[in-house]
Amino acid sequence: MDDIRVLEDSAAVEVALDPMRSAILDALSEPGSASTIATAIGSTRQKVNYHLKALETHGLVEPVETRTWGGITERFVQRSARYLVVSPSVLQNISLDPDQVADRLSAAFLIAVNARAVSEVGAITTGAPPDTRVPTLTLDTVIGFASPSDRAAFAVDLQSAIAALVAEYHHDEGRPHRLTVSSYPQPKESS
């Protein structure tokens, strides 16, 4: 089971969003059969089996084992990924281009850059052979600024540090990697 799968096919998204199929996916925190899932969600084995076939056709669940007892064969399936993320390309035919957003300090630009990352990394991982590690680097931290002027000074220092690192390590003949750095106010946790 993958940690995250980016859905790039609108039909797969439609299948995943069906309320019954969504309930089946939620019930599959552990591998299950049509019978065990039916019990968990309060449905019949036949209905669950029908929906499992649709989920399997779109790669949202995968078979893990078959058990035979008393002349009955029971198939066990699991989710293909713990989390599903919808690629922005599913919702629109054109690629989201951050360069079309004029204000580089806006929330719209941040969303456009991160949507592009979801689309691009999703496409790379979908096209990669199974168990291939895609060379990525992610930094995620929280920083508290005492004032807006501290935040602005940090931004200047960060840009300078990144520019120096890029100048030191960039090679025109090297494989290009996209580097993005973003910052936004951390949402308050709900109580």
The answer to whether residue 187 sits within a structural domain is no
What CATH number is attached to the domain comprising 74? 1.10.10.10
Q: Is residue 189 part of a domain?
A: no
Pairing of the two strands 72-79 and 61-69: antiparallel
Per-residue confidence (pLDDT) for residue 70, from 0 to 100: 85
Confidence at residue 104, expressed as pLDDT on a 0 to 100 scale: 85
Q: Which domain holds residue 127?
A: 87-169
Residue 176 counted as domain residue: no
The verdict on residue 178 lying in a domain is no
Beta bridge partners of 6: 85
Strand extents, DSSP E, 45-90: 61-69, 72-79, 81-86
If asked whether residues 103 and 143 sit together in one domain, one would say: yes
d(CA 152, CA 85): 33
Please tell me the predicted confidence (pLDDT) of residue 191.
67
113 in any annotated domain = yes
Asked whether residue 165 is domain-assigned, the answer is yes
Q: Given the DSSP bridges, would you call strands 81-86 and 2-7 parallel, antiparallel or unpaired?
A: parallel
pLDDT in tens, the chain (191 residues): 888 899 989 999 999 999 999 999 999 989 999 999 999 999 999 999 999 999 999 999 999 999 998 888 899 999 999 999 998 888 877 777 898 898 888 899 999 999 989 988 888 888 788 788 888 889 999 999 999 999 999 999 999 999 999 999 999 999 999 999 888 888 888 76
Q: How far apart are CA 96 and CA 21, in angstroms?
A: 29
Structure tokens at 64: 């893990």
- Clarify whether residues 51 and 122 are in a common domain: no
Shared domain for 160 and 101, answered yes or no, is yes
Give domain status of residue 177, yes or no: no
What residues contact 1, with CB distance under 8 A and at least 6 apart?
Answer: 78, 79, 80, 81, 82
In 18-139, alpha helices (H):
19-27, 34-41, 45-57, 107-127
The domain tally of the chain equals: 2
| b/e burial code for range 89-119 (CB count within 10 A of at least 16 → b) | bbeeeeebebeebeeeeeeebbbbbbbbbbb
The encoded tokens of residue 172 equal 């025109």
Classify residue 97: in a domain, yes or no: yes
